[in-house]
Amino acid sequence: MKQALVLLAAMVVMAGCSSVASEVPPGKPAEFLRLPPGFSAEILIDNVPNARSMALGERGTLFVGTRSGGVVYAVRNALRANPTVERFAEGLAMPNGIAVYKGALYVAEQKRLIRYPDAEAALKAPPAEIVDPALPFKLVLHSWKYLAVGPDQKLYVSVGAPCNVCVQPGFGEILRMNLDGTGREVVATGVRNTLGLAWDPASKDLWFTDNGRDMLGDDTPPCELNHAPKTGLDFGFPYCHAGTIVDPQFGSAGRCSDAVTPVQNLGPHVSPLALAFYTGRMFPSEYRGQILIAEHGSWNRSKAAGKTGYRITLVRLEGNKAVAYEPFIEGWLADDEVLGRPVDLLVAPDGSLLVSDDKRGVIYRISYKG
């Protein structure tokens, strides 16, 4: 009898693992993308206009924010057969930043932060609860926010500079607050415009991307990958770029020696957005704990220089030191023609990687079979 129970338990475990592995049905192959051997890309969901930030609920609903259109989408059964796309919330002001925590959907608009409790149970968004009624706002430029819940169970929201380059107190920062909006504080300054925050799963340290300033030439300055092991650090904007480049207009506002140097200088004008530590088990072991970055792509390089970005890159780490910066997925740029623009990255429960694309309005799934 005991042996039979052990055998039955083993069969249940095996069946459970099998159902998780086969739960996500195949999508349409994204044959234009180039990946390392053993990896494949497919379009999982293809009707999410301006798909930007993603957040996955416990019941399998994938919420997707947008920068244009004022809509937050809810993709029901996103990782199962026959997912459905619904316009969950409408009439919002650039709801780019979203996060799900304990069933509640948090949305960062241009000027405020709101919450929809028990969002997955609602067919349409109920009246929003105001978490923070007055996020910093001045001009439209860089006013869309990025939002995440940190390992300290607090909300983190980015506040981009309202300019290409300027001195503007209260902007170019990363803020932190309690889930109810109280206790707002500045975590980091000197950050021109970050739209990607992630925490090291081991150390719980904050890492973030930053978009370098424009109009200093095709190849200057680099965009940045930064590490903030503590609060109160200054990352140099607007007086210093990439740790060593003194701004020709605002260099007198500070010294590069006082600014935190990036862990990795990224390509110039690649517009890095989301980053993610790969925490799944599907990809080969050499990817675990490494950083993936969605490079949205340049807009202001000369035709002779050619466009940069439009890809997902991999930053390999040894401790807190970057030892490699290399392409992971390419193909969104073909002979200087833009075929798509990756925005956000989300490691799915089965270990695959979800990627949003605001140009195509789709969600890709990246998987590995070996």
Spatial contact of 196 and 209, defined as CB atoms under 8 Å apart: yes
Residue 292, pLDDT above cutoff 70: yes
Residue 339 domain flag: yes
Q: What is the pLDDT of residue 3?
A: 40
Q: What is the pLDDT of residue 219?
A: 97
Report the alpha-carbon distance of residue 53 to residue 295 in Å, rounded. 14
Burial class (CB in 10 A: 0-12, 13-18, 19+), 294: buried
What's 69's domain CATH number?
A: 2.120.10.30
Residue 15 domain flag: no
Could you tell me the CA-to-CA distances from 123 to 64, 93, 331 in Å, in that order?
15, 21, 36
Q: What are phi and psi of 92, to 5 degrees?
A: -95, 165
Residue 1 domain flag: no
Tens digits of residue pLDDT in 306-318: 999 999 999 999 9
Residue 235 domain flag: yes
Spatial contact of 208 and 191, defined as CB atoms under 8 Å apart: yes
Tens digits of residue pLDDT in 318-368: 999 999 999 999 999 999 999 999 999 999 999 999 999 999 999 999 999
Residue 11 domain flag: no
3-state secondary structure of 7: helix
Spatial contact of 362 and 354, defined as CB atoms under 8 Å apart: no
Burial class (CB in 10 A: 0-12, 13-18, 19+), 130: exposed
Q: Kindly state the percentage of the chain with pLDDT values over 90.
A: 92
pTM: 0.93
Residue-range definition of the domain harbouring residue 49: 27-368
Report the alpha-carbon distance of residue 366 to residue 278 in Å, rounded. 12
State the DSSP string of 175-241: EEE-TTS-S-EEEEES-S----EEE-TTT--EEEEEPPPSSS-TT-SEEEEEEESSSSEE--TTTEE
For the segment 266-270, the average pLDDT, to the nearest whole number, is 98
Tens digits of residue pLDDT in 145-201: 999 999 999 999 999 999 999 999 999 999 999 999 999 999 999 999 999 999 999
Q: What is the pLDDT of residue 370?
A: 79
Residue 22 domain flag: no
Total domains in the chain come to 1
pLDDT band at 25 (very low <50, low <70, confident <90, very high): confident
Residue 345 domain flag: yes
Residue 14 domain flag: no
* pLDDT, averaged across the chain: 94
